[in-house]
Structure 1
Amino acid sequence: MGLTNLILKILEKERSKYALPFENNVEGFRKVIKTGDVVLVSGQSYISGIIKIVTKSNWSHCFLYMGDGKIIEADSIIYESAEPRKVKNPRVMENPVEKYFPYNIRIKRPEQITEEHLKQVLAEARNYVGKDYDKKNIANFIWKGLGIKKFEFKKSMGSEDKYICSALIAKLFQNVGYPILPDVAIVEDGKRSIKKINYTHIAPGDFDLASSQYWRTIPFQGIGRTKHYTELIWDE
């Protein structure tokens, strides 16, 4: 086992305490979630904490909602017969969305995507199931965040045909021209051109930082619960 793999294996262990400020409104989530939504997750492993620090974000993981309670993600925990099982080789997999109800989550919707492009994203996502997890990419995220290594935004930080959670989803949407974090540059003739950031540079939190014009936050916690503020009873 290489040094990088050994470090990642140690950091995958979950911390005993997890800060879930309040129980997720599962009913509200199910009412608003749509096929093609990207859901951000605040994980509880040690490596999740590091990812949040180096990417300056509250989010360490993300998945693509496929409809009918199913998700596609790059991870190491697979659900079989409703029971979680850690796999020896992390990979792109399908899981039930219930896996993440115990975590802090946020729904981001690709607001302007066309029906045709969304169908393409979903179809391609299914084709990636079984692809290996990109440990090189996640390690380089850490080295980059710590200032140990530098990478040009147009060049890959990962391995060929392997994926971390956010890189997988970024590639799917970039393949249909849907923006996440486009880099706008001024060219010599005064016209603006949009350059793609290589998908291996995209972190889960980037979907939250992305323009609300393209990625809208969908609230669900208050659905069926929230009252008008004048009706709230405060505990003195």
Structure 2
Amino acid sequence: MRELGQWLARKISEWLVKEGPPPNSPLCDFNRLCYELRPGDILLLEGRSRVSEVIKIITQSSWTHSALYIGRLYDIADPKLRKRVKDAYQGDPNQQLIIEALLGEGTIVAPISKYRMEHLRICRPSGLEPSDAQRIIAYVIKHLGSGYDVRQLLDLARFLFPWTVLPRRWRWRWRWRSSLFEHNVGGPTRTVCSCLLAEAYNLVNFPILPFIDRGDDGSIRFFKRNPRLFTPKDFDYSPYFDIIKYPFLGLDDLGV
């Protein structure tokens, strides 16, 4: 019975990650984007898979996936971490690399060239110290090989979805216990893309979308948000990230 459940889960994952055709022409200048990337930048992607279409509807955003740019192998300062990345990635050592959590694959390292034809955007943490960038990179490297937390994805969908629009007789189907506010639910080895990156930035106390509380005495306090509640669009919306984009055709090319 357990084997049947695993087989069914695998088939569902394969169906969800099946992608539609790529665009006829790219929306961004991929070569320019790669040239401008810095280790610690977050890369946003507008996905083409079935699960991406669901994420677009739930989050009301075109950004469905986020990944962390870690540079090339020789950009990683710690030799132990460099070896771990090298063990997980058998390609060209001069390739520019990202770490991402994918449905059906878990947390992996991959060349950014896999997204050459996709719609991409750079979110750069404003004022982030190089030493903090290395700590962020170290955190995500240590999670290589972690599984993808499907339950967290479902719980986040339930949390964001305006379920009051559903007929009352359907709502009971959504009433399972949420994992979003539990500690280390399902073990510490599973994550989703935005949660992993939010945890890494929380490690160095870099704000993404913090809660802000103003006291009666005029003092202001920042509170970190639960990393499990982040989606890719939050990095785009955050006032603490600079948005960098390079259109495939500039204004001069368009005659504007």
TM-score band, normalised by the shorter chain?
A: 0.7 to 0.9
**Alpha-carbon offset, residue 19 of structure 1:** 4.7
Q: Which residue does 1:26 correspond to in 2? A: 30
* Partner Cα separation in structure 2 for residue 131 and residue 172 of structure 1: 15
Deviations 1:102-158 (A, max 9, x none): 211111101211122111111122111111111111111221222356979866696
* Partner Cα separation in structure 2 for residue 186 and residue 131 of structure 1: 38
2:114 is aligned, of 99, 102, 109, to 99
Q: Which residue does 1:108 correspond to in 2? A: 123
Deviations 1:56-93 (A, max 9, x none): 111110100010201111114xxxxxxxxxxxx52111
**Alpha-carbon offset, residue 219 of structure 1:** 2.3
1:226 alignment partner AA: G
Q: Which residue does 1:54 correspond to in 2? A: 58
- Does the alignment pair 1:123 with 2:138? yes
Distance 1:141 1:8, change over 3 A: farther
**Contact 1:156–1:200 (8 Å) recurs in 2:** no
1:78-93 maps to which residues of 2 (within 5 A)?
90-93=105-108
1:202 alignment partner AA: F
Q: Which residue does 1:193 correspond to in 2? A: 221
Structure having the larger proportion of residues in helix: 2
Q: Which residue does 2:48 correspond to in 1? A: 44
- Does the alignment pair 1:70 with 2:97? yes
**Contact 1:109–1:217 (8 Å) recurs in 2:** yes
Q: Which residue does 1:85 correspond to in 2? A: none
Deviations 1:174-233 (A, max 9, x none): 11100111011234554322111110100011000100xx200112235xx63647x828
Percent of aligned positions that are identical? 23
Aligned to 1:34, the other structure's residue is in SS state coil
Distance 1:199 1:17, change over 3 A: same
Query: Please, what is the CA RMSD of the aligned residues?
Result: 3.0
* Partner Cα separation in structure 1 for residue 154 and residue 61 of structure 2: 17
* Partner Cα separation in structure 1 for residue 242 and residue 32 of structure 2: 17
**Alpha-carbon offset, residue 45 of structure 1:** 1.0
Is there any run of 5+ residues in structure 2 with no aligned partner, and where?
A: 73-95, 164-173
Q: How many residues align?
A: 216
Q: Which moved more, 1:26-35 or 1:142-151?
A: 142-151
Q: Which residue does 1:215 correspond to in 2? A: 241
Scaled by the length of structure 2, the TM-score of the pair is 0.73
**Contact 2:155–2:179 (8 Å) recurs in 1:** no
Distance 1:15 1:115, change over 3 A: closer
- Does the alignment pair 1:133 with 2:148? yes
Q: Which residue does 2:75 correspond to in 1? A: none
Q: Which moved more, 1:156-165 or 1:195-204?
A: 156-165
Scaled by the length of structure 1, the TM-score of the pair is 0.79
**Alpha-carbon offset, residue 159 of structure 1:** 4.1
